[in-house]
């Protein structure tokens, strides 16, 4: 352990929907970051879960003809299953209907209720909300943000229909937080990433903030407001608080809270940036709590060029993806195909291109030809290297630089670049096989052949070790084939330098780990 800690969260998923590609993406990206940090020696808390309150969930339960709790129990389980399916290594799965979460939400409410705004006024006051609300987004919108649809219906920027709401409500004095927030963004340039999102949030806040309605009275599916149970808390205040519940809030003296709060990173989709970068920091600061160090917003997937939706029939269930392509191929594709932060398109052609190109032809072929050659020509034992020569130098140098390069990408959430670095070394290793031609050395210079094969086996060990966060199953199979003991000590990043392969180690019979995707032609 490095002594460092790392607290990472996904958004918690609304239980009105079934898990789909977009949810799987957020989870897998966070998983790669969490796995990397663990292998790098950090103590990690990786949180995911489900967002179960609010008008949208209440309506979905009503439409399904079941009581909201029973509805949440059922759908939440689908998300838990999705995380297992995607091989996501979350440490906690939180549900906002858990009693511990009601306590945390009420505690932050009470802390806000006692607090003053940066302008010295009460942060919380009772009033009446009269304005627009989009149930699908669970968000309030100003008149100036709306557009009018073809049949005269008003729509939020997200495309969600809005309805007029008029009801008694508690308000959070967000309007007093404008300068405070702008100052926070300026003093903490890493708080919002990527830069495009930071600019978007900054200009939204510069445009002026209105006070935020933080309770509802027209339905009851939520956390009751302390002291005024006719109101339930606005679902986003309740939902955001999950990040605190998981570390033991309101017990701020607890070991988990002291170890993990403030969170190192909240990873979110670009659609929910406003909640995480404007409302959440203001709520936390009002409650006297430290702010998360960073909010990273990723982009949005379309499917074969279209927005994913049930009505278009292009809704992609994670189970379908895994059945069709295999778990590691799906994870690799998602993380490699687009810069984390940008939008991208999920197309069958692009997935197959990555599977047959990067995975089968490049990495798979490298491992297969080196390990089969060792199996046939060295009694299946790790060969003993002699002296390295200049030809080996470039590969050895690239290999040595890999961990620092990948680490830097992880720290800036450039997941696709992390994979590009790894694959640059895959390509260099393939070139090295071709230029050093161990099959020719077998006759002309067997000791040199042993050196070349040792360099290659060690390179594959490096590559597999660093690929673990992204393609955990395939990487583990590769390490098994190099007879690397299956424990943290031998598979963590320290092992790269600490536990080189031992010459003479007997290897198991090699098997392919990255199969080609073969189209089945309908007959
Ligand atoms: N419940 C809120 C989050 C509360 S966090 C305190 C929510 N839930 S959600 O289920 O609608 O979305 C969860 C995540 O999935 C969001 O980060 C969202 O951006 C992401 N995605 C949903 N559809 C997506 C795509 N088509 N593409 C990429 N990610 C998308 O928001």
Note whether 77 and 190 are same-domain residues: yes
What is the pLDDT at residue 239?
Answer: 98
Instruction: Name the pLDDT band for 150 (thresholds 50, 70, 90).
Output: confident
Establish whether residue 267 lines the binding site of ligand 1, counting it when its CB lies within 6 angstroms of any ligand atom: no
pLDDT tens, residue by residue, 354-390: 999 999 999 999 999 999 999 999 999 999 999 999 8
Q: What is the CATH number of the domain that holds 263?
A: 3.40.50.620
The C-alpha atoms of residue 146 and residue 141 are separated, in whole angstroms, by 7
Q: What is the mean pLDDT of residues 130-157?
A: 90
Report how far ligand 1's centroid is from the alpha carbon of 269 (Å). 6
Cα–Cα distance for residue pair 405/398, rounded to 1 Å: 10
> What's the pLDDT at 305?
85
Q: Please give the average per-residue pLDDT across 130-152, as a whole number.
A: 89
Q: For ligand 1, atom 9, name the residue with the nearest CA.
A: 13
- Indicate whether residue 248 lines ligand 1 (CB < 6 A): no
C-alpha 46/C-alpha 90 separation (Å) is 5
CB of 26 within 6 A of ligand 1: the answer is yes
- At 2 the pLDDT is 67
Cβ of 94 closer than 6 Å to ligand 1, yes or no, is no
Query: Three-state SS across 450-461?
Result: HHHHHHHHHHHH
Nearest residue (CA) to ligand 1, atom 30: 22
Q: Do 292 and 385 share a domain, yes or no?
A: no
Residue 257 lies in a domain: yes
Return the pLDDT at 522.
Answer: 59
From the CB of 239, is ligand 1 less than 6 Å away? yes
**Mean pLDDT (whole number) for 129-156:** 90
| Residue 141 banded pLDDT, cuts 50, 70, 90 | very high
What is the C-alpha separation between 482 and 372, in angstroms, rounded?
A: 12
- Whether 338 is covered by a domain: the verdict is no
This prediction has a pTM of 0.96
- Domain boundary (236, 267, 299) is at 299
pLDDT of 443 strictly over 60: yes
User: How far is residue 516 from each of residues 59, 95, 127, 480, 507, measured CA to CA in Å?
Assistant: 45, 39, 62, 21, 24
Alpha-carbon distances, residue 339 vs 82, 93, 359, 426 (angstroms): 23, 27, 18, 20
From the list 160, 156, 163, 202, the residue with the least C-alpha distance to 179 is 202
pLDDT band of 507, cuts 50, 70, 90: very high
Q: Kindly report the number of other CB atoms within 10 A of residue 285's CB atom.
A: 20
CA distances from 403 to 39, 463, 467 (A): 11, 10, 11
Residue 523, pLDDT > 60, answer: no
Mean pLDDT of 451-468: 98
Name which residue sits closest to atom 19 of ligand 1, judged by CA: 269
- Same domain assignment for residues 90 and 149: yes
276/134 same-domain check: yes
How many domains would you assign to the chain?
2
User: What pLDDT band is residue 195 in, cutting at 50, 70 and 90?
Assistant: very high
pLDDT tens profile 87-115: 999 999 999 999 999 999 999 999 999 99
Q: How far is the CA of 79 from the centre of ligand 1 (A)?
A: 12
* pLDDT at residue 184, as a whole number: 98
Residue 319 placed within a domain: no
Same domain? For 90 and 178 the reply is yes
Confidence at residue 133, expressed as pLDDT on a 0 to 100 scale: 93
For residue 514, being part of any structural domain is answered with: no
- Does residue 518 carry a pLDDT above 90? yes
pLDDT of residue 18 exceeding 60? yes
- 59 and 163 belong to one structural domain: yes
Neighbours of 109 (CB within 10 A): 26
In this predicted structure, the answer to whether residue 229 has a pLDDT above a threshold of 70 is yes
Q: Which domain holds residue 415?
A: 347-498
Shared domain for 226 and 291, answered yes or no, is yes
Residue with CA at minimum distance from ligand 1 atom 13: 13
Domain match, 364 and 475 both: yes
pLDDT of 151 reads 81
Mutate to test the pocket of ligand 1, among 11, 238, 242 (most ligand atoms within 8 A of CB): 11
Q: What is the pLDDT of residue 1?
A: 61
The CB of 245 under 6 Å from ligand 1? The reply is no
| Ligand 1 pocket check for 14: Cβ under 6 Å | yes
- Is the pLDDT at 478 greater than 70, yes or no? yes
Give nearest CA residue, ligand 1 atom 10: 13
Domain co-membership, 233 together with 369: no
User: What confidence score (pLDDT) does residue 17 get?
Assistant: 82
Residues 295 and 352 in one domain: no
Instruction: Clarify whether residues 69 and 203 are in a common domain.
Output: yes
């Amino acid at each position: 352990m490095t002594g460092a800690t790392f607290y990472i969260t996904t958004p918690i998923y609304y239980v009105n929907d079934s898990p789909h590609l977009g949810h799987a993406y957020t989870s897998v990206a966070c998983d790669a970051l969490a796995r990397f940090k663990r292998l790098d020696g950090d103590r990690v808390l990786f949180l995911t879960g489900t967002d179960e309150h609010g008008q949208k969930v209440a309506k979905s339960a009503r439409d399904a003809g079941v009581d909201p709790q029973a509805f949440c129990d059922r759908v939440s389980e689908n998300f838990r299953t999705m995380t297992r399916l995607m091989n996501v290594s979350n440490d906690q799965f939180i549900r906002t209907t858990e009693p511990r979460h009601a306590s945390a939400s009420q505690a932050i409410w009470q802390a806000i209720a006692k607090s003053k705004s940066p302008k010295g006024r009460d942060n919380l006051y009772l009033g009446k909300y009269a304005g627009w609300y989009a149930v699908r987004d669970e968000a309030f919108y100003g008149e100036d943000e709306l557009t009018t649809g073809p049949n005269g219906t008003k729509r939020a920027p997200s495309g969600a229909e809005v309805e007029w709401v008029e009801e008694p409500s508690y308000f959070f004095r967000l309007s007093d937080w404008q300068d405070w927030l702008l100052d926070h963004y300026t003093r903490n340039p890493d708080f919002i990433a990527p830069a495009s999102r930071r600019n978007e949030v900054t200009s939204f806040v510069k445009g002026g903030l209105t006070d935020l309605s933080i309770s509802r009275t027209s339905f009851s599916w939520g956390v009751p407001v302390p002291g005024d149970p006719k109101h339930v808390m606005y679902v986003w205040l309740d939902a955001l608080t999950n990040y605190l519940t998981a570390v033991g809030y309101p017990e701020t003296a607890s070991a988990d809270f002291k170890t993990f709060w403030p969170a190192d990173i909240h990873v979110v989709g670009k659609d929910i940036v406003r909640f995480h970068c404007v409302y959440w920091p203001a709520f936390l600061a009002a409650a006297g709590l430290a702010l998360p160090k960073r909010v990273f917003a990723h982009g949005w997937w379309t499917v074969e060029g279209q927005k994913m939706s049930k009505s278009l029939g292009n809704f992609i269930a994670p189970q379908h993806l895994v059945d069709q392509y295999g778990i590691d191929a799906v994870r690799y594709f998602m993380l490699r195909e687009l810069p984390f932060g940008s939008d991208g398109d999920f197309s069958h052609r692009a997935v197959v291109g990555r599977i047959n190109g990067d995975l089968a032809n490049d990495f798979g072929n490298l491992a297969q030809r080196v390990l089969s050659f060792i199996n046939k020509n060295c009694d299946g034992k790790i060969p003993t290297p002699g002296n390295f020569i200049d030809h080996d130098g470039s590969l050895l140098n690239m290999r040595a630089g890999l961990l620092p390069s990948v680490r830097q990408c992880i720290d800036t959430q450039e997941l696709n670049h992390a994979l590009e670095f790894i694959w640059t070394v895959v390509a260099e290793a393939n070139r090295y096989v071709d230029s050093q031609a161990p099959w020719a050395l077998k006759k002309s210079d067997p000791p040199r052949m042993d050196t070349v094969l040792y360099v290659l086996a060690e390179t594959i060990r490096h590559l597999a070790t660093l690929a673990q966060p992204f393609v955990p199953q395939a990487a583990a199979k590769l390490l098994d084939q190099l007879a690397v003991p299956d424990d943290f000590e031998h598979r963590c990043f320290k092992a790269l330098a600490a536990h080189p392969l031992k010459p003479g180690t007997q290897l198991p019979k090699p098997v392919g780990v990255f199969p080609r995707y073969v189209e089945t032609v309908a007959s």
